[in-house]
């Protein structure tokens, strides 16, 4: 099957495919911000957490306070199982199969490395984010399925500050040394 557009135009199209700041990634970042979480982007962390300052796999979102990373994966590039967006182009199928299998292999390897380093890893798929966008039109953002999922994943790493225990102060009777002068 021949391509319907020129090689130059195809190259231009492919150059417009972003690796960072994709729409699903921005939506998840906005949601996390609404939920009150603060984060860093693209795997950047303090060097005391990782020698190089960048975590393996360059996670899209890093919540260092919770030692949690979030990958927002595109269904096409990272091969989301049983998703309609996981298609294979009809031309150069061998090239694409190799490319996709290498992506999946790298994802698994980075996941293992991050877990070995003690990080909690959350993967959110593009199709889940797109269904969240549709769902958010009808529901409050905090009540959507993806918001509930993120909160349940991050809940073990947070503590309730709504009713803090009162601080107990210890007071002793001390002599007033200034009275003798």
Count Cβ atoms below 10 Å from residue 27 Cβ, excluding itself. Answer: 19
- Closest CA relative to residue 132, chosen from 21, 30, 62, 60: 30
Calculate mean pLDDT across residues 99-128.
91
Residue 105 predicted with pLDDT over 90: yes
Residue 168 predicted with pLDDT over 50: no
Q: Tokens for 31?
A: 């949601």
- Closest CA relative to residue 123, chosen from 113, 102, 108, 137: 108
- Closest CA relative to residue 35, chosen from 160, 157, 142, 143: 142
Q: Render pLDDT for 36-95 as a digit per residue (tens, 0 to 9).
A: 888 888 777 666 666 677 788 889 899 888 888 999 988 988 898 888 888 888 888 999
Residue 117 predicted with pLDDT over 50: yes
Q: Render pLDDT for 130-154 as a digit per residue (tens, 0 to 9).
A: 888 777 776 677 777 888 888 888 8
76 against 181, higher pLDDT:
76
| Structure confidence at residue 112 (pLDDT) | 93
**Sorting pLDDT into bands at 50, 70 and 90, what band is 169?**
very low
Query: What average pLDDT is seen over the chain?
Result: 79
**Cα 80 to Cα 107: distance, rounded to the nearest angstrom:** 12
Where are the chain's structural domains? 22-157
User: Any idea which architecture 22-157 has in CATH?
Assistant: 3-Layer(aba) Sandwich (3.40)
Residue 159 predicted with pLDDT over 60: no
Q: What is the pTM of this model?
A: 0.71
**Sorting pLDDT into bands at 50, 70 and 90, what band is 176?**
low
Longest dimension (CA), the chain: 103
Lowest mean pLDDT among 3-7, 48-52, 104-108: 48-52
């Amino acid at each position: 099957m021949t391509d319907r557009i020129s090689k130059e135009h195809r190259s231009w199209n492919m150059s417009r495919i972003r690796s960072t700041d994709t729409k699903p990634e921005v939506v998840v970042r906005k949601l996390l911000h609404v939920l009150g979480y603060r984060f860093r982007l693209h795997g950047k962390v303090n060097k005391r957490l990782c020698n190089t300052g960048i975590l393996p796999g360059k996670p899209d979102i890093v919540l260092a306070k919770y030692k949690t990373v979030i990958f927002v994966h595109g269904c096409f590039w990272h091969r989301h199982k049983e998703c309609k967006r996981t298609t294979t182009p009809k031309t150069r199928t061998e090239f694409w199969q190799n490319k996709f299998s290498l992506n999946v292999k790298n994802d698994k390897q980075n996941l293992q490395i991050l877990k070995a380093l003690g990080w909690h890893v959350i993967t959110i798929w593009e199709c889940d984010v797109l269904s969240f966008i549709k769902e958010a039109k009808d529901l409050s953002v905090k009540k959507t399925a993806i918001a509930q999922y993120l909160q349940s994943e991050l809940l073990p790493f947070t503590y309730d500050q709504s009713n803090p225990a009162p601080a107990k102060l210890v007071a002793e009777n001390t002599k007033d040394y200034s009275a003798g002068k």
